[in-house]
A and B are shown apart, each in its own frame.
Chain A
Amino acid sequence: MATVAETNPAPHSAKGTGGHSWTRWLVVAVPYIWLILFFVAPFLIIFKISLSDTAIAMPPYLPTFDGFGSIGEFFSELDFENYIFLTDDPLYIMSYLSSLRIAAISTILLLLIGYPMALAMARAPTSIRPTLVMLVILPFWTSFLIRVYAWIGILKPDGLLTLALQTIGLMGEGEQVQIFRTDYAVFIGIVYSYLPFMVLPLYAALEKMDNTLLEAASDLGCPPWKAFWKITFPLSLPGVIAGSMICFIPITGEFVIPDLLGGADTLMIGKTLWTEFFGNRDWPLASAVAVILLVMLVVPIMIFQNQQKKVV
C-alpha cells in the first residue's frame, strides 16, 4: 500500500514500448475493456435493478431486459419505489448516518494513533526505516478475517482481556469486560485493521519533508510544538487527506467488522445490505441501498483520486 500514496500517473513521454499502432492499441484496450466490462457495466446493472420490483423467481427481480425491441415496455416498468421505501423506513436512514458516524470517528482515531507512529518512523535513523515500514506492512499481509477473529478471543466476556485484568487485580473475580458486541469493539476492530492504511501514506508524506525548515524555525527561536503546527503538519496534509480517504471510504461500507464484533444495535449499511441480499433475498432493495451508498461516497472518492494525481 505504500505505493498508493507515492505514485504519479503523469506520463514521461508519448513514445515508448508500443511503437506499432496495433501493439499500442492492444496494451491499452485489453485492460480497458476488462474494466469496462467487469467494473463499469456492473454499476449500470445495479442501477437498473434498483429500479425493478422484487419477484419470487430466479433471478428474483422484475422486469428483466430482453432485447431492444421491448425497450419502451422495459422503461415503463421501472420505478423508484425501492428508493421511496428506503427513505420511508428509518432503519435505512439510521444505518447510513450510523455508518458515516462510525467511519468518521474511526478515521479520527486512526489519525490520532497513526500520526505519531508515522512521525516517529520518519524521524527514526535511516538505517532502520525500511524495517519499520516492513513491520507496519506485515500485518496487512495476514488475512483481514483472521485479524478480526483474533480480537473475538481477546474481547469476549470470558476472553483474555478479562483474564488479564483479573490477574493484575484491576477487576474482581466475578466481573467481566463488556466490550464484545458493542460499538467499542467495532472501533477497536476498525482501528486495528486499517492502521497500516493510515500510517503508510502519512509516513510517505512525512519522510519526504525537508528537515532544514525545522532547523531554521528552531534557530529563529520557534518552540518545537509551534514548529510542528506551523511546518510539519501543513506539509503532511496531502498524506493526511490520502490516509483519511483510504480509510474513510471502505470503512463506511464495512461488513465483516460490525458483523463479527458489533452488537445487534450496531447499525452499518454494509451489514444492512448483506442482510437484504442474503437474508431477505430482496435484490432490488439491496441494489438501491448500494446505489445510495455509492452516491454518498462519490465526493470522498473524487477527493481521493485528485489527491492520487497530485502526489508525486
Chain B
Amino acid sequence: MRSPRFDTTVLTLGFAFLYIPIIILVVYSFNASRLVTVWGGFSLHWYSAMWSNQGLMDAAWVTARVGVLSATLGTILGTLAALALTRFARFPGRMAFSGMIYAPLVMPEVITGLSLLLLFVAMGVDRGFWTVTIAHTTFTMCYVAIVVQSRLLTFDRSLEEAALDLGCPPVKTFFKITLPLIFPAVIAGWMLAFTLSLDDLVIASFNTGPGATTLPIKIYSQVRLGVTPEINAICTILIGLVTIGVIASSLTTKRAEIRRIRDEHLAIRNAAS
C-alpha cells in the first residue's frame, strides 16, 4: 500500500481522468470539421461563428454583469458574516446563523432556485437581471464567508489588539489592520463567487426573466439540440479566462503573502529599535 509506484499510478490515472475530457473539448474547438470524431484540420472558424452569434454575445454580457455585481455584493456580505462568526462569540441566534451559512453549500440547486423564485413571485417582483443577481449573491456569500472565516481564524490577532489598545476606533482598525491582512482571502472569495455565478444554470433558470438570459442557460439550450464546435469554442474561451484568473490570483496572493511577511518583520524591527 505504501509503495511510491502505487501512488504515482493512482495520481496519474486520477489526473488523466480529470483533465482528458477538458483537453479533448479544447482541441476540438479548433476542428475544421463539424463532426466530433473527424479531425478536419486546424481552423478558427467556430470562433468567428461564435463571435457573430448575437444571442450568445448578449448572454455573455448579461452573465458578466450578473457575475461582477453578485460577486461584489456576496463578498461584502460574506466578509461581514465571517467577521460576525469569528469575532463575536455571542449574539442571539448565532447557531442558526452559522447553520444558514453552511446549509446553502450543500442545498440542491433545484430547491434553492425554486424557493427563491416563489419568494419573488409572492413579493410581486418581476423576474430578470436583479432577481438573478440577488439569487447569486445569496448562495455565493456563504462560500465567501467560509473562505474569509478560515483566514480570520489563522491570522495574528495581536496586531488588531495592539491597534485597539492604542485607542484606534474599531472601524478604523478594521480598515487599517484587519482588511489588509485578510485581503488575499477576500480576493479569493470574490473569484470563487464570480466563478460560481458564471457557472450556475439551475438557480438562474428559475429566477431569470425576459432579457436576462445568462450564458449557461444559452449553452444548455444549445447543448440540448446537439454538440456543435461553436459551443466548444465558447467553452474554450471560458476555460482560458478562468485559468488565467486562477493563475493571476494565486500569483498575487503569493506576492501579497511575501510582502506581508516582510512588513511584519520590518514592524517588529522598528518596534525593537
Contacts and interface: CB of A to CB of B under 8 A. Distances in A.
B253 to A, nearest CB: 12
A142 to B, nearest CB: 5
A132 B10 CA distance: 12
B91 to A, nearest CB: 5
A11 interface: yes
Contacts, number: 289
B227 A160 contact: no
Nearest to B164: A19
A7 B150 contact: yes
B118 A46 contact: yes
A17 B160 contact: yes
A139 B227 contact: no
B40 interface: no
A209 interface: no
A269 to B, nearest CB: 8
Interface residues of A, number: 106
Contacts of A224: 1-2
A19 B202 CA distance: 41
Contact of B216 (A124, A145, A154): A145
Interface stretch (B42-50, B54-62, B169-177, B258-266): B169-177
A59 B170 CA distance: 48
Most central of A116, A123, A162 by chain B CB within 10 Å? A116
Interface stretch (A24-32, A72-80, A82-90): A24-32
A100 interface: no
Interface of A: 3-4, 6-9, 11-20, 23-24, 27-28, 30-32, 34-36, 38-43, 45-46, 49, 59, 64-65, 113, 116-117, 119-121, 123-124, 132, 134-136, 138-139, 141-147, 149-154, 156, 158-160, 162-163, 192, 195-196, 199, 224-225, 228, 245-246, 249-250, 252-256, 260, 270, 273-274, 277-278, 283, 286-287, 290, 293-294, 297, 300-301, 304-305, 308-309
5 contacts: A9-B85, A20-B170, A45-B118, A253-B110, A305-B98
Given A14-B89, A250-B107, 19 more contacts: A4-B146, A7-B146, A17-B170, A17-B171, A18-B170, A19-B169, A19-B170, A34-B77, A38-B134, A39-B112, A40-B100, A45-B122, A46-B111, A46-B115, A120-B14, A153-B24, A158-B37, A246-B106, A287-B114
Interface of B: 1-2, 6-8, 10-11, 14-15, 17-19, 21-22, 24-25, 28, 36-37, 77-78, 80-81, 83-91, 93, 97-112, 114-116, 118-119, 121-122, 134-135, 137-138, 141, 145-147, 149-150, 153, 157, 160, 164, 169-171, 173-174, 178, 195, 198-199, 201-202, 205-206, 216, 219-220, 223-224, 227, 231, 235, 238-239, 242-243, 245-246, 250
